[in-house]
């Protein structure tokens, strides 16, 4: 791990390579594609499924070129029927295949809800049959795509026993968490942030560099306040923390990375260390992941707190299409700064 020591805190390199490791500069999107390519080369049981993911390369071109290397038997174009493709993937998983299913948008995962929560999530509990299936869900807003293409619906699946849910915020984690998700014997919902596809670039380790499911990442250390977040909000929180440092404050940023199971030890450590916590996520506020994080801190770190546990999230409305309205709906550095300053002054 590399450190950039500041006056009031240490900035942890977002994606510090392992000692002596080889890295490449990849966008978030390229890192996802590279993770799939790596696993498909390593394991012939890995197949991709989704709408227009073959010759067309997917709605966002994440799978572009993979059909040329692996063929149509492993990069499978499906009908526009999410329920059918997920049930087909479950059946394949029973035969030793490891399907990676792409939802064109995370919003459309609701069409396949029954297959995920009623069947895939409960199958191992009911009769001991693993379901090694990964569902890629391109989610969140910021692209002016309106209410049907901008949702952050991860809390649906965090609530469901039997599922794991990950949400990488960096290119290296996008690749590393995807490797872990594909190898996992449980169904994993892999939330990738569309806004980061081409806007974020960083060093990505080559080779077999999996990121463990269930481990948060401390992106920046601090003493006065902890910002706990995930996905695209990690970058926004880091920007806010840098501004607050220039104002004389020491702010920590904890990236959850995995939403289920949560890294409870890391969350409690940040809360106990700083005494003040602001939880930030793009999803709607009510019953969001932040509610569970807040409850965990209230139960496990209450006596360490010097202020109320605060949450900053999207309002309980559909995501607007209008750019000015979406900018208000979606938390960003300025909104985080306002909430953080209020909490620091408490």
Catalytic residues: 149
Retrieve residue 39's tokens. 């696993």
For CA atoms 111, 117, 120, 126, the dihedral sign is negative
Q: Pick from 139, 267, 250: which is nearest to 214 by CA? A: 267
Using alpha carbons, list the distances in angstroms from residue 149 to 103, 104, 152.
11, 9, 10
Retrieve residue 124's tokens. 């191992």
Helices (H), 51-166: 66-70, 82-94, 113, 121-127, 154-158
280 Cβ neighbours under 8 A, 6+ residues apart: 227, 228, 229, 233, 236, 237, 290, 311, 312, 313, 331, 336, 339
CA 4 to CA 150: how far, in whole Å? 34
| Burial (CB count within 10 angstroms: exposed 0-12, middle 13-18, buried 19+), residue 272 | middle
């Amino acid at each position: 791990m590399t450190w950039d020591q500041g006056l009031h805190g240490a900035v942890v390199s977002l994606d510090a390579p392992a000692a002596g490791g080889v890295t490449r500069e990849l966008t978030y999107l390229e890192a996802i594609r590279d993770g799939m390519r790596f696993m498909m080369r390593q394991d012939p049981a890995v197949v991709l499924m989704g709408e227009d993911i073959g010759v067309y390369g997917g709605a966002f071109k994440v799978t572009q070129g993979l059909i040329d290397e692996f063929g149509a038997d492993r990069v499978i174009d499906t009908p526009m029927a999410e329920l059918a493709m997920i049930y087909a993937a479950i059946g394949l998983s029973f035969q030793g295949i490891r399907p990676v299913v792409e939802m064109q948008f995370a919003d459309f995962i609701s069409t396949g809800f029954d297959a995920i929560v009623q069947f895939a999530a409960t199958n191992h509990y009911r009769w001991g049959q693993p379901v090694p299936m990964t569902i890629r869900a391109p989610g969140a807003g910021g692209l002016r795509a309106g209410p049907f293409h901008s949702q952050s619906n991860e809390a649906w699946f965090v609530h469901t026993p039997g599922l794991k849910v990950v949400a990488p915020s960096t290119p290296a984690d996008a690749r590393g968490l995807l490797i872990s998700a594909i190898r996992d014997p449980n169904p994993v919902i892999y939330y990738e942030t569309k806004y980061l596809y081409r806007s974020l670039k960083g060093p990505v380790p080559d080779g077999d560099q999996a990121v463990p499911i269930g481990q948060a990442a401390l992106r920046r250390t601090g003493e006065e306040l902890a910002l706990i977040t995930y996905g695209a909000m990690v970058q926004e929180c880091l920007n806010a923390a840098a501004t607050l440092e220039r104002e004389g404050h020491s702010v920590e940023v904890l990236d959850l990375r995995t939403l289920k199971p949560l890294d409870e030890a890391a969350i409690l450590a940040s809360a106990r260390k700083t005494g003040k916590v602001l939880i930030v996520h793009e999803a709607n506020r009510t019953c969001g992941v932040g509610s569970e994080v807040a409850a965990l801190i209230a139960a496990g770190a209450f006596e360490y707190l010097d202020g109320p546990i605060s949450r900053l999230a999207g309002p309980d409305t559909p995501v607007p299409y209008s750019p000015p309205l979406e900018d208000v709906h979606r938390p960003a550095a300025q909104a985080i700064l306002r909430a953080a300053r209020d909490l620091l002054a408490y």
